[in-house]
């Protein structure tokens, strides 16, 4: 029998997202499995004079030892991938999970990158979005919502052979010495009939204003190559703001769930520690988590999440304990009242303390408080770091 320690950490990167989970054999620290969900931020919305800022580079190199077994990229906006580009070469990834996006959507993402005048390398960003296999070198690339995944076997690579990772029926199953312990279930609710309308809006805007006689997709490519022509920066910025909500639909989320047997063990024995700037007056469960990125949610999406859990052989009956509130706690179209049907206990929000968007929504904070949810606030201040630790026997 072996003792496995799990650490789930919401890193204080401010206006962005960087979440990680590690599984470690207590008696042999080299036996570790590492998962990361997003890794980026937008510095202009943070308090950059804060002396308590965290060094993500140090964490990636020291804590993850430069290795990530399973990386989920919810979407390709800068605040979710900035560190992946900035620290390219400082880490290795075995398996990368990304949303499926088409050429039009890629061009719009590149346009947004140009308009934001990012501090990260543009060519590296292009490679990440258009050629992720080359960006991550030898990693497996799994596209959610695509039938083109070229994975020869459903058994995936890990950095330690004690852990076995399989991918089947859009579910990642993690085993330790062939004993199932955890599930990662990615989801993307935007089907082909509800595909993003961003490009259509962009095209209509160009036709309405007569900015050019070319196809809008070609104008975007010219813009990305610094060939602006007759298109003004102001016009491009204006239309991009109008389509930014639609581009957030190009997003995947992930359910992180222990198997039913592990969950029952954790609930019985309460082997859990919780470290953050909030003091918890009563015991809470923290074992399962719903990562949402910036995905807008509708009532039907919550029903689908419940169906995913109930239909999963290993995690059937496991409840969702923690929810990462979508889009930095902005509320509105990103948080539907049906979320409460999940009966989650902890609500985590990550945002920059100097953001210009009024994140998080005051109305949402009040709603969560009235529902007696345990609210966790993560900013760029290292004191707001949120760490859940728990252990179980295998």
Q: Got the DSSP string for 95-119?
A: EEEEE---HHHHHHHHHHHHHHT-S
Higher pLDDT, 20 or 249: 20
Q: What is the dihedral of CA 288, 299, 75, 59, to 10 degrees?
A: -20
Query: Domain residues of the chain, as ranges?
Result: 3-100+133-190+252-393, 197-245
pLDDT for the residue 64? 73
Of the pLDDT bands very low, low, confident and very high (cuts 50, 70, 90), residue 171 is: very high
What pLDDT, on the 0 to 100 scale, is given for residue 216?
58
Range 27-53 average pLDDT: 90
Map residue 308 onto helix, strand or coil: helix
The pLDDT, as a whole number, for residue 241 is 77
Residue 239 has pLDDT above 80, yes or no: no
Domain 3-100+133-190+252-393 classification at class level: alpha beta
Least-confidence region, from 78-82, 137-141, 298-302, 373-377: 298-302
**pLDDT higher than threshold 70 for residue 95:** yes
What would the mean pLDDT of 175-182 be, rounded to a whole number? Answer: 96
**Tokens 């990260």 found at:** 120
Stronger pLDDT, 210 or 204, i.e. the higher one: 204
The yes-or-no verdict on residue 7 having pLDDT over 90 is yes
pLDDT tens-digit map of 250-303: 899 999 999 999 998 888 876 555 555 443 433 457 899 999 999 988 888 899
Query: Which of the four pLDDT bands, split at 50, 70 and 90, describes residue 224?
Result: low
């Amino acid at each position: 029998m072996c003792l496995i320690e799990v650490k789930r950490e919401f890193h204080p990167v401010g206006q962005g997202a960087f979440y990680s989970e590690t599984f470690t054999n207590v008696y042999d620290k080299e036996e570790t499995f590492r998962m990361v969900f997003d890794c980026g931020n937008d510095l202009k919305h943070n308090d950059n004079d804060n002396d308590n800022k965290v060094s993500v580079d140090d964490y990636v190199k020291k804590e993850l030892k430069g290795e990530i077994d399973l990386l989920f990229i919810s979407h390709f906006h800068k605040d979710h991938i900035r560190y992946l580009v900035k620290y390219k070469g400082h880490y290795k990834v075995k398996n990368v999970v990304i949303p499926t996006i088409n050429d039009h959507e890629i061009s719009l993402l590149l346009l947004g990158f140009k308009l934001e005048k990012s501090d990260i390398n543009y060519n590296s960003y292009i490679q990440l979005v258009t050629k992720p296999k080359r960006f991550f070198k030898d990693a497996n690339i799994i596209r959610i919502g695509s039938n083109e995944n070229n994975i020869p076997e459903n058994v995936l690579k890990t950095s330690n052979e004690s852990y076995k990772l399989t991918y089947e029926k859009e579910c990642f199953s993690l085993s330790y010495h062939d004993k199932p312990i955890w599930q990662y279930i990615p989801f993307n609710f935007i089907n082909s009939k509800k595909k993003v309308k961003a490009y259509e809006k962009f095209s209509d805007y160009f036709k309405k204003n007569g900015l050019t006689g070319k196809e809008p997709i070609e104008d975007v490519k010219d813009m990305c190559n610094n060939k602006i022509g007759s298109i003004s920066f102001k016009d491009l910025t204006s239309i991009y703001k109008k389509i930014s909500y639609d581009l957030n639909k190009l997003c995947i989320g992930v359910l992180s769930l222990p198997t039913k047997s592990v969950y029952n063990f954790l609930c019985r024995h309460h082997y859990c520690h919780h470290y953050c700037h909030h003091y918890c007056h009563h015991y809470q469960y923290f074992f399962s988590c719903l990562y949402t990125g910036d995905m807008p949610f509708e009532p039907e999406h919550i029903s689908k999440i419940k169906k995913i859990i109930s239909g999963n052989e290993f995690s059937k009956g496991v409840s969702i304990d923690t929810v990462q509130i979508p889009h930095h706690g902005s509320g509105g179209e990103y948080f539907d009242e049906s979320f409460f049907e999940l009966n989650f206990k902890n609500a985590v929000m990550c945002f920059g303390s100097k953001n210009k968007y009024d994140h998080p929504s005051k109305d949402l904070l009040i709603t969560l408080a009235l529902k007696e949810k345990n609210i966790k606030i993560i900013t760029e201040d290292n004191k707001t770091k949120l760490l859940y630790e728990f252990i179980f026997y295998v």
